[in-house]
Amino acid sequence: MRKALIVLCLALLLAGAAEAKVKYGLRSGLNVSKLELSPDGSIDTRSALGLHIGGFVQLKTDSPLIIQPELLYTQKGTGANVDDVVTIDYIALPVLLKLNVEIPGAQEILIQPLIAPEMGYAINATSTYNPLFHESINKLNAGFNLGADLIYTGDYFIGLRYYLGMTDLLSDAKRPPISNTCWTISVGYLF
């Protein structure tokens, strides 16, 4: 599965880069994340706040299709109960496939719905109760993003995404699978 995601990301980049107009951008914002358990899991988790910041390259063609690889620092995690807080810091590489959709009657406003595979690498992980938590997690994390960016005045944008992790976070196979989920609200600028 990981190899397929990497191949898909590279294919999208190469296909879009051939005759594309290139723009660069920065984005940052707030994450509301949670670790999801499989249906037969019994641990109750609550949401945790984090942040994300990074840059991207937007490859536009003459069609409404846009390919946008990003490099982000992003925080995900959860609160397992009142006292225990889990925070995982990732370097993430989502490759967005977006469409430019004009809003009738609204000049200089575009909606860009998106879907994106994402690969992440955990650079740090902390847990209130487990000082060795970083050693017990899978460092690679794969998943998908769904969402949209609202572009206004040609350069500024606000975005909303939902991330669904597909990788089991912990390497212990004696319990139900746990994966990252995250709502992301971003603001940014295109150069």
Q: Tell me the pLDDT tens digit for each residue of 138-179.
A: 999 999 999 999 999 889 999 999 999 998 888 765 666 788
The single residue listed with the structure tokens 């595979």 is: 117
Closest residue by Cα to residue 154 from 58, 20, 18: 58
Any residues with CB less than 8 A from the CB of 167 and at least 6 apart, and which? 138, 140, 141, 142, 143, 179, 180
Go through the chain and tell me how many residues it has.
191
Query: How confident is the model at residue 174, as a pLDDT?
Result: 66
Q: Kindly state the helix (H) or strand (E) to which residue 134 belongs, with its residue range.
A: helix 133-136
The string of pLDDT tens digits covering residues 117-139 is 999 999 999 988 888 888 888 99
Query: How confident is the model at residue 18, as a pLDDT?
Result: 55
Confidence of residue 111 (pLDDT cuts 50, 70, 90): very high
- When pLDDT is averaged across residues 83-98 and rounded to a whole number, the result is 92
Closest residue by Cα to residue 31 from 50, 3, 46, 11: 50
Is pLDDT of 81 > 80?
Answer: no
Confidence of residue 95 (pLDDT cuts 50, 70, 90): very high
What single-letter amino acid sits at 164?
A: L
Is pLDDT of 187 > 60?
Answer: yes
- For residues 58 and 80, the model is more confident at 58
Three-state DSSP class for residue 11: helix
* Mean pLDDT across the chain: 86
Q: How do the domains of the chain map onto residue ranges?
A: 2-190
Query: How confident is the model at residue 131, as a pLDDT?
Result: 87
Query: How confident is the model at residue 101, as a pLDDT?
Result: 92
Q: Is the pTM of this model over 0.95?
A: no
The string of pLDDT tens digits covering residues 30-50 is 999 988 765 555 455 788 899
Closest residue by Cα to residue 122 from 151, 104, 143: 143
The DSSP output letter for 103 is P
Is pLDDT of 115 > 80?
Answer: yes
Query: How confident is the model at residue 152, as a pLDDT?
Result: 93
Is pLDDT of 65 > 90?
Answer: yes
Fold assignment, 2-190: Porin (2.40.160)
